[in-house]
Amino acid sequence: MKVGIYVRVSTLEQATEGYSIQEQTEKLKKFCDVKEWTVSDVYIDPGFSGSSLKRPGMQKLINDVEQQKIDAVLVYKLDRLSRSQKDTLYLIEDVFLKYNVHFVSLNENFDTSTPFGRASIGMMSVFAQLEREQITERMQMGKVGRAKAGYFHGGGVIPHGYDYKDGQLIPNEKEAKIINYIYDQYLDGWGAQSIAKSLNDKHISSKRATKWSHKIVTEILANNLYIGKITWKNETYDGAHEPIIDDNKYFRVQELMAKRKASATKTNQRPFRAKYMLAGITYCGVCGARMFTLKSYSIKQHKYIRKYGCYSQSTIEHMIKDPNCDNDKYDGPELEAYVLQRIKKLSMNSKTIKRINDQSTSLISTDGTKAQIKETEEQIERLLDLYQNGAITYSKIESRIDDLNATRETLDNQLKQLESEKLTNGSSKNILSILSTASEVVDSKNYEAQKRLVHALIQKITLKHDKVTIKWTF
């Protein structure tokens, strides 16, 4: 019998417990010698967790099983195969047994060529899953315990202003000065974006190896870690680390941030999510980046003018698609007026109205398809019940179950298509209602109503030099 040996180790600790690649391989080869089995190949996954099947050795093993290159799979211990109950049962039932390949675990003395072996595998995989969940729970409890004791959890990026040594946060004198600079500038009336630009202009590096941004500065200003606190899962504890911002400065900043936020909300008389009409739906046709609104003072016109420009031409690094983008900037009011007139023209187009009306009047039913899916699932369940009760062998029902699963997949796709058409059907009626009042809204000069109209009818607007392309929602 040709055997494929599978070995895996995920941590140094496992190696010290006798799970090393070499030890597993030697024991399994000796077992094969005793059984007079031929070792066809050894599949190795060093440093991979058992929580996922996305491992190179495992994928090669699965491929060789499907190519029927081996007759059996041998592992040192069940959890070397997988720590997931779902993945273990998938491998045994849907991969190994499907291709008449036995599975043998040396440590637990399991052999799927026997009914007892198959039953035992199922039970043991449950315990493997339980063990993993317990480990995860202990890790979470450990992080909670560290937070309660005042220690940083240690995951992710180390906070600006600190180094992380021996499990503790240690103030970084150079970075601490930057943190204080950020707080001081904010109290002097600077905004987060202005502070970020100032730091970038001075070529001061961010801990994240990226440029300073509005988001990074805002996070620093709101982080109570700088006054000696530790927050974990929305709970705050006294930290064991040294503060680098005094309480008075921190709380003055929090008060100022709250006032600025309240003031911005109060002065914004446009409660819709986006302040301007085309925000969120306009894209650059040159580089694909989003468009944003910007204001600049025109000396010639003696007033501020508003335009839509490409984010690639901005200083917001994570929004830039192509720093060499040469798209134009578009006069805001003119572009918005053009889009509104396109909507008005569309609302009076009889062919468009007829097409949408035809969609809304079509009758779509999913009941028949749902009934077929239910019947197919019941047939599969009946066959599996017969197999589990020992009334029939798996090989006799395998082909039929494959056919039924294929049928169910086809029916599922049909149902998704019908549901999509049904959704379109309902949406079409809503679109007709919106279009019936579109002309009135366009002429009303009610900016909020016009904005809602635009976002209800338009999915995307692409701007490329003098070309405006509109993608409708219907």
Could you tell me the sign of the dihedral formed by the alpha carbons of 298, 304, 309, 314, in that order?
positive
DSSP sequence for 403-445: HHHHHHHHHHHHHHHHHHHHHHHHHHHHHHHHHHTHHHHHHH-
- Lowest pLDDT segment from 2-16, 235-249, 415-429, 459-473: 415-429
Count CB neighbours of 453 within 10 A: 25
Of 120, 125, 96, 249, the C-alpha closest to 183 is: 249
Domain residue extents for the chain: 2-140, 162-267, 271-365+414-474
Look at residue 385 in the predicted model and tell me its pLDDT: 62
Annotated active-site positions, please?
A: 10
Could you tell me the sign of the dihedral formed by the alpha carbons of 196, 202, 206, 209, in that order?
positive
Q: Specify the pairing of strand 2-9 against strand 162-165.
A: unpaired
More confidently predicted of 125 and 73: 73
Look at residue 131 in the predicted model and tell me its pLDDT: 59
With a pLDDT cut of 70, the percent of the chain lying above it is 80
Burial 390-420 (b: 16+ CB within 10 A, else e): eeeeeeebeeeeeebeebbeebeeebeebee
Look at residue 268 in the predicted model and tell me its pLDDT: 47
Between 3.30.1490.20, 3.40.50.720, 3.40.50.1390, 1.10.260.40, what CATH number should domain 2-140 receive?
A: 3.40.50.1390
Average pLDDT over residues 275-287: 91
CB–CB of 104/98 below 8 Å? no
Q: Which helix (H) or strand (E) holds 163?
A: strand 162-165
325 pLDDT more than 90: yes
Identify the band that residue 359 occupies on the pLDDT scale cut at 50, 70 and 90. Answer: low
128 pLDDT more than 80: no
115 pLDDT more than 50: yes
With a pLDDT cut of 90, the percent of the chain lying above it is 33
Per-residue pLDDT tens over the stretch 235-263: 888 888 999 999 999 999 999 988 877 76
Q: Specify the pairing of strand 110-111 against strand 162-165.
A: unpaired
- Lowest pLDDT segment from 1-10, 71-80, 115-124, 455-464: 115-124
Per-residue tokens: 347: 């609302």
Per-residue tokens: 115: 């009914």
Look at residue 393 in the predicted model and tell me its pLDDT: 66
Amino acid (one-letter) located at 211: K
Look at residue 70 in the predicted model and tell me its pLDDT: 96
CB–CB of 105/137 below 8 Å? no
137 pLDDT more than 80: no
Look at residue 426 in the predicted model and tell me its pLDDT: 42
SS3 assignment, position 144: helix
Identify the band that residue 177 occupies on the pLDDT scale cut at 50, 70 and 90. Answer: very high
Q: How large is the angle between the packed helices 350-361 and 394-436, nearest 10 degrees?
A: 140
Helix, strand, coil fractions of the chain, as percent rounded to 5: 55, 15, 30
Share the mean pLDDT of the chain.
81
Look at residue 190 in the predicted model and tell me its pLDDT: 87
Highest mean pLDDT, choosing among 225-239, 417-431, 449-463: 449-463
Average pLDDT over residues 212-231: 90
Bridge partners of residue 117, in order along the sequence: none
Between 3.90.1750.20, 3.40.190.290, 1.10.15.40, 3.30.1280.10, what CATH number should domain 162-267 receive?
A: 3.90.1750.20
